[in-house]
Amino acid sequence: MEFHFSEENLSKLSGVFSKYPNKKAAVMPVLYIAQEQNGYISNEVISEVSKVCEITEEEVMGVVTFYTMYHQTKPGKYHIQVCTNVSCMLRDGFEIYDAVKEKLGISNHGVTGDGLFSLEEVECMGSCGTAPMIAVNEDFHENLTKELTLQILDNLKQV
């Protein structure tokens, strides 16, 4: 599918470019803007970003594949990120991860058939003091139990 930045996002881009001495340096924020508009980073997005940042498509691809927060496939409407790193693990992070996997019927990086949920096992999110935690898209849910987590998923289904 073709990709072009919307008018609104084009004006955002000029704000982003003004932070850096060259356009290449803006590739990360530009990719975020593109991902927000398109839902994920497709090849067409890479091509467009390479044009506006004046770098090769390979360079853009290099950045996209280095960072976990750029998605090359479409995630679910609710992207569920479960932390299983040590502080969460010590407080049942793996039990929560397994429960989410079972409930959604998908494994790491899977997307449910209806496109509602996707799942990612993530590294420490900086919530160790309020562990265990999951993130739903950009929002952190902390001090969880298995029950609370499943309830969050149920609530999202009903929205």
Partner 1 sequence: MWTKERIVLPLIENLHEIEVYKKNGGYQNAKKAFALHPDEVIDTVKKSGLRGRGGAAFSAGLKWSFMPKSTDKPKYLCINGDESEPGSFKDRQIFEYNPHQLIEGVLIACHAIGANIAYVYIRGEYHKWIKLFQKALDDAYAAGYVGAGMKNTFGTDFKVEIYVHKGAGAYICGEESSLMNSIEGHRGYPRVKPPFPAQKGLWGCPTTINNVETLANVPVIIDKGWEWFSSIGSPKHPGTILYGVSGHVNKPGVYELPSGTLLTDIIYNYAGGVPGDKKIKCVIPGGSSMPPLRGDSLEGIKMDADSLKEAGSSIGTAGIMVMDEDTDLIAVLARITAFYYHESCGQCTPCREGTGWMLKILKRMARGNATKKDLDLLVSVANNIDGNTICALGEAAAWPVKFMVQRFRDEFESKMKDEIEIAVPNKVHSMRDTVNPIASITI
- Contacts with partner 1, residue ranges (CB under 8 A): 19-21, 24-29, 31-32, 53, 55, 62-63, 66-70, 84-87, 89-91, 107-109, 120-131, 135, 138-140
9 or 87, CB closer to ligand FES? 87
Q: Please give the Cα distance from 141 to 157 (Å, whole number).
A: 16
Q: Please give the Cα distance from 9 to 24 (Å, whole number).
A: 17
119 or 153, CB closer to partner 1? 119
94 or 154, CB closer to partner 1? 94
**Are 78 and 117 in contact, with CB atoms under 8 Å apart?**
yes
Q: How far is the CB of 23 from ligand FES (least distance, A)?
A: 35
- Partner from partner 1, ligand FES, none binding residue 111, C-beta < 5-8 Å depending on class: none
27 or 99, CB closer to partner 1? 27
Q: Please give the Cα distance from 109 to 102 (Å, whole number).
A: 14
35 or 127, CB closer to ligand FES? 127
CB atoms within 10 A of CB 62: 12
**Contacts with ligand FES, residue ranges (CB under 6 A):** 83, 85-88, 124-128, 131, 133
Q: Where are the alpha helices (DSSP H) in the chain?
A: 7-17, 27-38, 43-53, 57-66, 86-89, 93-104, 146-158
- Partner from ligand FES, partner 1, none binding residue 29, C-beta < 5-8 Å depending on class: partner 1
CB atoms within 10 A of CB 75: 19
**Pairing between strand 139-141 and 117-122?**
unpaired
Q: How far is the CB of 108 from ligand FES (least distance, A)?
A: 16
Q: How far is the CB of 84 from ligand FES (least distance, A)?
A: 7
